[in-house]
Homo-oligomer: A and B are copies of this chain.
Amino acid sequence: MRSIRGRGFRELMPLKEALERLERSIEPLPPQEVHISQAAGRVLAEDVRAERDNPPFSRAAMDGFAVRASSTFGASPSNPRYLRLKGEARAGAGWSGSVGEGEAVRVSTGAPLPAGADAVVMLEHVNVLGGEVEVLRAVPPGKNVALQGEDYRKGEVLLSSGTVLGAKEVAVLASLGRSRVRVAAKPRVRVIATGDELAEPGEELEEGRVYEATGYALLHLCRSAGAEAERAGIVEDRREALREAVRSAASEADVVLITGASSVGEHDLVPEVLQELGRIEVHGIAMRPGEPSGFGRLGRTLVFMLPGYPVATLFSFEALVRPALQLMQGAEPSCPYPAVRAVLRRKIASELGRRDFVRVRLERAGEGYEAEPVRVSGSGVLSSMLRAHGFTVVPENTEGVEKGESIEVRLFTPLQGACCGG
């Protein structure tokens, strides 16, 4: 791969190499136990095996009558079969006898299938006539029955370590009888915003200042990656103040994010301070936006240097920080933005050796989409994020993408309507 120079950087590192160094420097967090009512979004830190079959016993899947299927063969409305009604099995209360040929036991959904029975005739296909039931339809063996172990068998690994738990996985844990589960600890993240020009939202804005927005965006991005994140406030561009803020944040966090002052200008103190307190592992990455990103360590704490502009920081976060937070929790890096394919409407130019993240607007075109790059004059243009539907990644081995080519777009916001299909 061709190496390229950045603004003020002697050499920029390819993102792939930066990620390999990052992965090597990740220490997985210790596991902890949580109740399943608090487990969604957490990463499983154990292999969960079935301790018993599920269903634990064969049971009725419908309200109706448990029978031997063979007793119903040939039954039809014009030629019913008559079976002797022997009793009733309800959910939570079985029936202790055995169902023989020519016999039936009333069952409700979820009731254990009585011994001898191998099928259930639905309520709607039966008339009850005193001590007899008139069966109007034949059933094959297994019909309307949930067989013991058909869902899963004892000993089977149902959920593997590293799985991100959602509603479905929690339902599986509950059905296994697990009220508590081992998950990775949440990474503790502290976000420091640097810059003399920054003012706290809610305060008066003095001439020449802008409100701090990047730190708030990072807070929510970190939480969406399973972290416990807090802002550590705004720090002025003074060496001593920055040193103290970084040291203090690192002492109580697994990860510190520092926005701004990460480049190589005279007032970009962050790399100097990090090198002084700990060590820099990567600084300057061949990606745009997000070039002046990097990371290092202060003791056991991973410290990221991120650009100050919200838009650039979003991409630095997605390229570096989200994978780090996921790996610390034992999960594979994955992207929360769904991918769709789209046809590019206008050429995107890019530099060989650099990975570009390009915001695009989408428009429907037949069953698919067309993508229009969002023109922006700087990465500080926040409203362009609101106009864009997503972004596309232009890899290092190309000088751009031609008009008319099919590209993959990652969507910030789902484009579809309700789940039921509208």
A interface residue numbers (CB < 8 A to B): 7-8, 15, 19, 36-37, 39-40, 52, 54-57, 61-63, 90-94, 108-112, 122-124, 142, 145-147, 150-152, 158-159, 166-180, 195-203, 205, 207-214, 216-221, 223-224, 231, 237, 263, 265-267, 287, 308, 310, 314, 318-319, 322-323, 332-341, 355, 367, 377-378, 380-386, 393, 395, 406, 410-421
Contact = CB atoms under 8 A, between A and B. Distances in A.
Contact of A170 (B15, B168, B220): B220
Protomer copies: 2
Contacts of A212: 174
Closest 7 CB pairs of A and B: A338-B338, A179-B202, A92-B196, A393-B421, A92-B197, A174-B213, A335-B419
A37 B57 CA distance: 49
B208 A94 contact: yes
A203 B180 CA distance: 11
A335 B82 CA distance: 49
A412 B419 CA distance: 11
Contacts of A202: 177-180
B319 A419 contact: yes
Contacts of A122: 7
Contact of A172 (B124, B147, B200, B213): B213
A377 B267 contact: no
A175 to B, nearest CB: 4
B334 A267 contact: no
Which DSSP category, helix, strand, loop or mixed, fits chain A's interface? loop
A54 to B, nearest CB: 7
A77 to B, nearest CB: 16
B336 A414 contact: yes
Contact of A378 (B61, B332, B413): B61
A385 B323 contact: no
Given A7-B122, A90-B267, A333-B417, 11 more contacts: A54-B383, A63-B263, A90-B196, A94-B207, A109-B308, A167-B220, A171-B213, A172-B385, A319-B420, A323-B420, A336-B419
Given A196-B91, A201-B36, A217 B419 contact: no
Given A210-B56, A224-B40, A341 B319 contact: no
B8 A380 contact: no
B265 A63 contact: yes
Given A56-B210, A61-B378, A335-B417, A383 B180 contact: no
Nearest to A396: B421
Interface centre among A19, A63, A382, A414, by most B CB within 10 Å? A382
Contacts of A93: 196, 208
Contacts of A147: 377
Given A112-B208, A419-B319, A171 B37 contact: no
A151 to B, nearest CB: 5
Contacts of A420: 15, 19, 287, 318-319, 323, 355, 393
